[in-house]
Amino acid sequence: MSSLYDLPVGSCTAQLVVSESEAYVAFSIERRPHGPNGEPRVACLLHTTDGGRTWTQMSWRRSVWSQLRHPGFPNWPPEAVIGISVHPRGLTITHRDEHVIFEPGGESLWESTFRGSAWSIRKVRSMDYEGNDNTMAIPQLALDLPPSIRPPNQALQTDVPRPAGAGRG
């Protein structure tokens, strides 16, 4: 099984170009201090709407309903984002658990959707590492933005402070 920890800290794990001026980029960065289950990484999701002149870090605040429905898992915020999409219902990310000591059935694949100012989460399925998911790895991507979008500052990729709402709940 490939692990998140096979990636160098600060690696780009997902990106989405929405237009010539708007994009989302996800990095897996060092988590200081480590998370409640010892997670050494945390995802950093950046968004620009002005061609990369400014990049804003997305909040990891979960909706109240999401916290009530899934109080103990998945790990939140995610350690790495492996997919980003935009739908009429909101911005959706795909992620999986790496530290899931208490999750029934082991590691799972999740989708989280950002609506308004908070994330709602949905379990997609349990991971099947003895079957279809044997080769599923956290991708390390080369940042590939169009020339009209400036990439985020290197310091943002590796040393972003934890945003408010980045706690477990």
Decide: helix, strand or coil at residue 94: strand
Contact 65, 78 (CB under 8 A): no
Q: What's the CA gap between 33 and 1, in Å, rounded?
A: 26
Report phi then psi at 64, rounded to 5.
-60, -45
pLDDT of residue 137: 62
pLDDT of residue 15: 95
Give the DSSP letter of residue 23: E
Contact 111, 100 (CB under 8 A): no
pLDDT of residue 156: 53
pLDDT of residue 79: 87
pLDDT in tens, 121-130: 988 887 766 6
End-to-end CA distance of the chain: 28
pLDDT in tens, 140-156: 788 999 999 999 975 45
Q: 68 CB contacts (<8 Å, ≥6 apart)?
A: none
Which residues are bridge partners to 82 per DSSP? Answer: none
Helices (H), the chain: 64-69, 154-158
Tens-digit pLDDT profile for the chain (169 aa)? 345 556 677 788 899 999 999 999 999 888 888 877 777 788 999 999 999 999 999 999 999 998 888 777 777 899 889 999 999 989 999 988 765 555 555 678 889 999 989 999 988 887 766 667 654 567 678 899 999 999 997 545 544 444 444 443 4
pLDDT of residue 154: 54
Q: What's the CA gap between 26 and 4, in Å, rounded?
A: 13
Q: Which of 134, 51, 128, 58 is nearest to 93 (CA)?
A: 58
Task: Take residue 76 and report the two structure tokens written for it.
Answer: 């939140």
Domain boundaries, the chain: 4-158
